[in-house]
Amino acid sequence: MTDSDTGKGLSLDDARGAGVEASLRPTTTGARIAHLLQRDGVGATVVLVLVIIFAASTVDGFGSIGNIRNVLISVSFPAIIAIGMTLVIVTGGIDLSLGSVYALAAILCTKVLDVSKGLGGNAIAGIALALGAALLIGLVQGVLIARVGLPPFIVTLAGLYGVRGLVYFVSNNGNDVYSAPQSGAFYRFGTGTVFTIGYPVVLALILYLLFHVTLSRTSFGLTAYALGGSEDASSLMGLKVRSTKIRLYVISAGLAGVAGILAAAYSQSGTPDLGRGFELNAIAAVVIGGTLLTGGAGSLIGTAAGVLLLGVVSSYINLGTDLPQAAQAVVTGAFVIVVVIVQRYLNRVQRR
Partner 1 sequence: MSETPTPAVPEAPGRPARSVDRSKVASFLQDNGVYVALAVLVGYNALFTNFWFTASNLKLQLVLVAPILIVALGMALVIGTEGIDLSVGATMAISASVIGQGLDAGLSVPVIIVGVLLAGMLVGAIAGTLVAFFEVQPIVATLALLVAGRGIAVLMQASTLSVSDPTLLKFGSGSWLGIQAPFWDALVPVIIVAFVVRRTVFGRRIVVIGDNVRASYLSGIPVRRTLLTVYIVSGLLAAWAGLVVTTFTSTNDPSTNGLGYELFAITAVVVGGTALSGGRVRILGTIAGALVMQVLRSTLAFHNFTDAVTQMVTAVIIIVAVLVQRKRARS
Binding-site ranges for partner 1 (CB under 8 A): 94, 144, 148-151, 153-155, 157-169, 173-174, 280-281, 283-284, 287, 293-294, 323-324, 326-330, 332-334, 336-337, 340-341, 344
Rounded Cα distance between 153 and 331, Å, is 25
Q: Which residues fall within 8 angstroms of residue 345, CB to CB, at 6 or more apart?
A: none
Residue 16 Cβ vs partner 1, minimum distance, rounded to whole Å: 19
For residue 272, the minimal CB distance to partner 1 (Å) is: 9
Strand pairing report for 269-270 and 178-179: antiparallel
Start-to-end CA span in the chain (Å): 21
Residues 6+ apart with CB under 8 A from 266: 73, 77, 190, 191, 198, 200
Our CB check for partner 1 shows the closer of 71 and 310 to be 310
- Could you tell me which of 6, 2, 8 has the C-alpha nearest to residue 22? 2
CB closer to partner 1, 217 vs 348: 348
Of 61 and 333, the one with the shorter C-beta distance to partner 1 is: 333
By C-beta, is 161 or 236 nearer to partner 1? 161
Closest distance to partner 1 from the beta carbon of 334 (Å): 6
Residue 1 vs 323, nearer CB to partner 1:
323
Minimum distance, C-beta of residue 184 to partner 1, in the bound complex (Å): 30
Min dist. Cβ of residue 166 to partner 1 (A): 6
Q: Minimum CB separation from partner 1 for residue 44, in Å?
A: 15
Nearest to 112 by CA among 160, 104, 78, 168: 104
Residues 6+ apart with CB under 8 A from 286: 82, 85, 86, 89, 293, 298, 302, 303, 306
Q: Which is nearer to partner 1, 159 or 311 (CB)?
A: 159
Nearer to partner 1, 185 or 337 (CB): 337
Identity of the amino acid at 30: G
Closer residue to partner 1, CB minimum distance, 1 or 341: 341
Q: What are the CA-CA distances from residue 88 to residues 59, 95, 227, 294, 300 (Å)?
A: 37, 7, 10, 11, 12
C-beta of 172: minimal distance to partner 1 in Å? 9
Closest distance of CB 280 from partner 1, Å: 6
Q: What is the dihedral of CA 327, 333, 337, 338, to 10 degrees?
A: 40
DSSP category for residue 23:
G
CA distance 335 to 328: 10
Residue 307: strand pairing partners: none
d(CA 148, CA 192): 43
Minimum CB–partner distance for residue 5 and partner 1 (Å): 33
Instruction: Rank residues 71 and 336 by Cβ distance to partner 1 and give the closer one.
Output: 336
